[in-house]
Chain A
Amino acid sequence: MSFNPGAFLAPAVDWLNASFHPFFALITQVIEAVLSTIEAAFLALPPAGLVAAVVVLAAMAAGLRVAVLAGCCLGFCWLTGLWQASMQTIALVLVAVLIAVAIAFPLGIIAARRPGVEAALRPILDVMQTVPPWVYLIPAVMIFSLGRVPAIIATIVYGIPPMLRLTTLAFRTVPNDLKELGQAIGAKPRAILWKIEFPAARPTLLVGLNQCILLSLAMVVLAGLVGAGGLGAEVTRGLTRMEMGLGLRAGLAIVAVAVLLDRLSRGALDRQRKGA
């Protein structure tokens, strides 16, 4: 005798697909539109112009060292001829992270306040983090068909757990006396959240954001398998054609993008904290 969850899940996915097709089609359209806009914005400038713009912005937001590093990373992507693929990948990561944070941050705060919610979420998060990410791609592709949309959905699913867990941790470790202060001075719950808890939780929240970005990048690359385009597609092409050179270039470009996103996000947020 064998247990086969797919036997139940596959019809469920089919049913979802048949009954909610207009809804999924709408999601597809919205995500495609947002992605295309961001990609078009990145590609509208000539590469040299964009590199210069990023370097200047990075220098202002995060300091000179980060600016130089960002310039090198982007320059590498450009010189290896993978500019367009890199921009597609960055656009995918940005949109995925934005949506993941929009979901994980409020849920994380609720989980920090209500132990019951956290207890309910924990096994779900465990499953989300331990199931091999390829597996997410299957239902995503069944519902949204091939392309960028299933890739980004799978990426969001992969990016939520670290952000959610660290949000919960961040808010749970806010010193109790600070929360008491908020109550004792008669602050409204919203003021306590944004003026007391959020600043105190911020260092841990930044770690969560950073993890979310890097894990999303890993997933976006993997999603090259389902036609997400970008650097993942180049890696897949290198693999299927056994082209060592292409695979290596694309792999190094991914490293460059990872370093770029990691240092930029961390540098900008660190700088803000010091300045505040």
Chain B
Amino acid sequence: MESTEALIDCQSVWKVFGDRSDEAIRAIAERDLTKQDILRQYNCVVGVSNASLQVRRGEIFCIMGLSGSGKSTLIRLLNRLIEPSLGRIMVKGRDIAALDAAELRQMRARHIGMVFQSVALLPQRTVLENAAFGLEVQGVPRDQRNRAAEAALAKVGLSDWKARFPAELSGGMQQRVGLARALTSDPEIILMDEPFSALDPLIRRQLQDEFRQLTKDLGKSAVFITHDLDEAIRIGDRIAIMKDGIIIQTGTAEEIVVNPADQYVADFVAGISRLHLIRAHSVMQPLVRWQGVTDGLPRCSPDADIDALIGLITSSGSDAVAVEEGGRLLGIVTIRDLLLGVRGETEARAA
């Protein structure tokens, strides 16, 4: 299996809520109706509108949107906690709408873990019992499930807390238990529904880094919901931005910052620091436009970020940096390019 294979493939998925949702869906399939039309004509709310996305193996895919943007509905469509009204959702190559109740339980138990914003720990069970709960309901013997849960708790650094009850833990620790519970059954895909939103900023940042590291180390794929663009950039390999049930743009953090799809996204990314996001290959100009010599210039790779480029220029006293890969020169970054880059603009757009 190649690494770019799509573990989750959402194709034109719609979710419409309301008493007359059947009629509304038929109307959507036949005519091209907007969200406002549906609300006016059928009194139905469109939760997710024509959403398509692919989550690749080993990737952390963030869905960023404000409240009411449909992101929580979208993530629940991925493990069929909510039934889609229209469209197809393939998980590991299987159409999950076609699974019967037992197959769906198997799919959720084995392949799709989920972590909730509210953590949803069972208060009358210890940390260990909570972490082992997924395996318990699958009927795994106590010894075996406790071993798996202990291993998962060790990964999130909670080995010393396994005999405690959830109420004795801080919010950040509780969310680690939630993560351990999802890891215990060793799923390939982890759905994270705003897991860190309720935590204070310092703990949140720490958990973000730990989560990213852990996911990459274990080779898991994750879909991560957040309303915080900083969090999406920090964690996500790719980001989808949602508004009013529609995915407006999908791409890497750099692609979105450099090339926002519309004014809404542009306003969103306006406050994001470019220093670590934009890389040399986005801001460099072609060699032919550089009139000076290239010999004395400091060198960098195409993946060097603006912060590193500024470091090179200030320390060397030169007014440009040459971008090279494998000994071959690709382009030049001048101070002007850097300044534009800090503002999130590239030469092409500024010119």
Contact = CB atoms under 8 A, between A and B. Distances in A.
A199 interface: yes
Contact of A186 (B105, B116, B117, B181): B105
Interface string A185-200: 1111001000110011
Nearest to B79: A184
Interface in A164-185: 175, 177-178, 180-185
B108 interface: yes
B108 A178 contact: no
A185 B109 contact: yes
Contact of A181 (B105, B106, B112, B120): B120
B122 A175 contact: no
Given A180-B81, A182-B137, A186-B108, 12 more contacts: A177-B116, A181-B116, A181-B120, A183-B108, A185-B109, A185-B134, A185-B181, A186-B105, A186-B106, A186-B109, A191-B137, A195-B133
Interface string B90-122: 000000000000001111111011101110101
Where chain A touches its partner, the secondary structure class is: helix
A186 B138 contact: yes
A135 interface: no
A183 B109 CA distance: 9
Contacts, number: 57
B137 A180 contact: no
B291 interface: no
Contacts of B117: 177
B137 A177 contact: no
A188 B137 contact: yes
8 contacts: A175-B118, A180-B116, A184-B81, A185-B134, A186-B134, A187-B137, A191-B137, A200-B122
A273 B125 CA distance: 11
Could you say which of A181, A191, A196 has the most chain B C-beta atoms within 10 Å of its C-beta? A181
With most chain B CB atoms within 10 A of its CB, the pick from A181, A186, A195 is: A186
Contacts of B124: 199, 273, 276
Contacts of A273: 124
B137 A195 contact: yes
Interface of A: 175, 177-178, 180-188, 191, 195-196, 199-200, 273, 276
A108 B322 CA distance: 75
Interface size class of B (residues with CB under 8 A): 20 to 34
Contacts of A200: 122
Interface string B118-152: 10101010000000011011100000000000000
A158 to B, nearest CB: 32
A184 B137 contact: no
Nearest to A180: B81
Given A186-B107, A188-B137, A196 B122 contact: yes
A140 B114 CA distance: 54
Contact of A184 (B106, B108, B110, B122): B108
A202 to B, nearest CB: 9
Given A185-B134, A187-B137, A188-B137, A177 B109 contact: no
Contacts of A184: 79, 81, 108, 112, 114, 191
Nearest to B105: A186
Q: Which of B108, B114, B117, B137 has the most CB of A within 10 A?
A: B137
A197 to B, nearest CB: 11
B49 interface: no
A185 B108 contact: yes
Contacts of A187: 105, 137
Contacts of A195: 122, 133, 136-137
Nearest to B165: A276
Nearest to A192: B137
B185 interface: yes
A273 B108 CA distance: 31
B223 to A, nearest CB: 13
Contacts of B112: 184
Contacts of B105: 186-188
